[in-house]
């Protein structure tokens, strides 16, 4: 039985979920939910039983000393609640953050849906990030997908048509659909040649799209400056290697060519409407989420920091796969493009699309392709 003692009556609640692991390239999605939790000082009210869903040889518990006392922290999924916005139109967010479960996925999703039902959640938004052929110098592509045709029309989303292996993001979205709960997945594309976490630019792009979707202004703190520093670091490292620089240029050309039709009156109008919606508020220390779309697009704007710890070898074991990442070589050089990078057919076989629509695909290595037809 679900106990919700201490949880107040919620206002227009939306559930925001992210899971470390297969669907979390660059830790972009889980970092986005963690940012919401920190900025709005979330209070954890529930945690799923780790024994039911996790293999502790895959996701090991950790031990720390607190005041001289040893404390064990078990890998699990926790739920917290925050009040977003404020003023005349506050809105509550139920934040679900954890690790992709090792087992019993159906029970896992049913337990999360049980909380959603008890809390009166109006919509579930699941965040994900995938590896793709996207240049780090351009705005991060974020696609929104749903299995609900009516929701796709009303929120200007894509309908999911993906067929193939999926992760917990796809399973949870499908469970929501069968339970009659409106559900949306937002996917950010992370450059595969610099895939190691963190990727603050992708996190920023997800928060930008989430802000538009739920109609709540999100404070960004230092995230915008972190994103600028990340991009400047990649720029510097790419400039040191002519092959990498040439490869990035080819991705830029492909991206710019693909996006020419988007330079339409309708696209410009959407950006202007976003500006008008935000104009009444004053930017915080980190600016606005819309900075992800253009403010750091060319890497020449200001910002502190340099190459730093953001950049590691994407060919290292576990690159971009959540827990256990960062265990690779520790190199700060972007991966050199290989011969297969120049062959679209081979990229498809490895789970990566050519530049373009990344929505709902997942990471490379035999996983879902970011071809626009995905599980959500």
Cα 140 from Cα 270, distance rounded (Å): 17
pLDDT digits (tens, 9 = 90+) for 111-129: 999 999 999 999 999 999 9
Classify the C-alpha dihedral 220-143-28-57 as positive or negative. positive
Whether residue 245 is predicted with pLDDT greater than 80 in this model: the reply is yes
- Poorest-pLDDT segment among 72-86, 173-187, 255-269, 311-325: 311-325
Contact residues for 368 (Cβ-Cβ < 8 A; gap 6+): 130, 162, 164, 165, 166, 167, 170, 351, 360, 361, 362, 374, 375
Q: Are 79 and 115 in contact (CB under 8 A)?
A: yes
* CB atoms near residue 336 (< 10 Å): 13
CA atoms within 13 Å, Cβ hemisphere of 172: 28
Continuous segment of H or E residues that includes residue 177 = helix 168-178
The answer to whether the beta carbons of residues 371 and 365 sit under 8 Å apart is no
Which tokens hold the place of 257? 């060519």
Q: What is the mean predicted confidence (pLDDT) over 71-94?
A: 88
What's the whole-number mean pLDDT along residues 287-296? 38
The token duo for 231 is 């991009």
The better pLDDT of the pair 355, 223 is held by: 223
Spell out the residues 6+ positions from residue 291 whose beta carbon is closer than 8 angstroms to its own.
204, 220, 224, 227
Phi, psi of 71 (to 5 degrees): -130, 130
Of 372, 366, 359, nearest to 128 by C-alpha is 359
Res 371 pLDDT > 50? no
Q: How many CB atoms lie within 10 A of CB 75?
A: 20
pLDDT at 356 over 50: no
pLDDT tens figures, 295-347: 333 333 333 333 333 333 333 333 333 333 333 333 334 444 444 444 434 43
Q: How far is CA 26 from CA 17, 83, 258, in A?
A: 16, 27, 24
- pLDDT over 90 at 172, yes or no: yes
- Report residue 205: phi and psi, to 5°: -65, -40
Helix H or strand E encompassing 97 = strand 91-99
Cα 143 to Cα 162: distance, rounded to the nearest angstrom: 14
Model confidence pLDDT, tens digit, residues 176-186: 999 999 999 99
Rounded CA separation 10/43 (Å): 14
Q: What is the rounded CA–CA span in Å between residue 366 and residue 356? A: 19
CA 206 – CA 197 distance, rounded (Å)? 15
DSSP three-state, residue 235: helix
Contact 51, 58 (CB under 8 A): no
Tell me how crowded residue 43 is: count the other CB atoms within 10 A of its CB.
11
Distance CA 2, CA 115 (A): 7
Cα angle 365, 204, 288 (rounded to 5 degrees) comes to 165
- Whether the full predicted model's pTM is greater than 0.75, yes or no, is no
């Amino acid at each position: 039985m679900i106990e919700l003692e201490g949880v107040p009556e919620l206002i227009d609640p939306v559930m925001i979920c992210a899971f470390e692991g297969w669907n979390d390239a660059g830790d972009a999605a889980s970092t986005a939910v963690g940012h919401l939790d920190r900025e709005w000082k979330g209070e954890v009210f529930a945690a799923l039983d780790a024994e039911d869903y996790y293999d502790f040889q895959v996701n090991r518990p950790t031990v720390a000393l607190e005041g001289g006392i040893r404390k064990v922290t078990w890998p699990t999924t926790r739920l917290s609640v925050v009040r977003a916005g404020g003023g005349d139109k506050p809105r509550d967010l139920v934040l679900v953050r954890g690790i992709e479960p090792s087992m019993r996925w159906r029970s896992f999703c049913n337990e999360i849906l049980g909380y959603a039902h008890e809390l009166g959640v109006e919509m579930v938004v699941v965040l994900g990030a995938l590896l793709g052929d996207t240049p780090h110098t351009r705005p991060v592509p974020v696609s929104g997908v749903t299995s609900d045709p009516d929701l796709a029309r009303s929120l200007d989303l894509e309908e999911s048509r993906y067929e193939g292996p999926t992760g917990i993001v796809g399973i949870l979205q499908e469970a929501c659909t069968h339970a009659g709960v409106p559900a949306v997945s937002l996917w950010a594309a992370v450059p595969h040649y610099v895939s190691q976490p963190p990727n603050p630019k992708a996190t920023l792009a997800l928060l930008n799209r989430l802000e538009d979707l739920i109609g709540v202004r999100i404070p960004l703190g230092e995230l915008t400056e972190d994103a600028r520093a990340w991009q400047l670091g990649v720029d510097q490292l790419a400039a040191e290697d002519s092959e990498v620089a040439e490869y990035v240029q080819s991705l830029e050309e492909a991206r710019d060519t693909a996006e020419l039709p988007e330079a339409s009156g309708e696209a410009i109008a959407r950006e202007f409407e976003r500006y008008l919606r935000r104009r009444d508020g004053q930017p915080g220390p980190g600016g606005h989420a819309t900075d992800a779309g253009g403010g750091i697009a060319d890497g020449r704007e200001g910002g502190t920091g340099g190459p730093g710890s953001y950049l590691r070898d994407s060919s290292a074991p576990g690159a971009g796969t959540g827990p256990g990442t960062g265990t690779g070589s520790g190199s700060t050089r972007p991966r050199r493009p290989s011969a297969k990078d120049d062959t679209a057919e081979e990229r498809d076989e490895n789970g990566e699309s050519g530049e373009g629509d990344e929505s709902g695909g997942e990471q490379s290595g035999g996983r879902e392709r970011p071809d626009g037809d995905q599980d959500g």
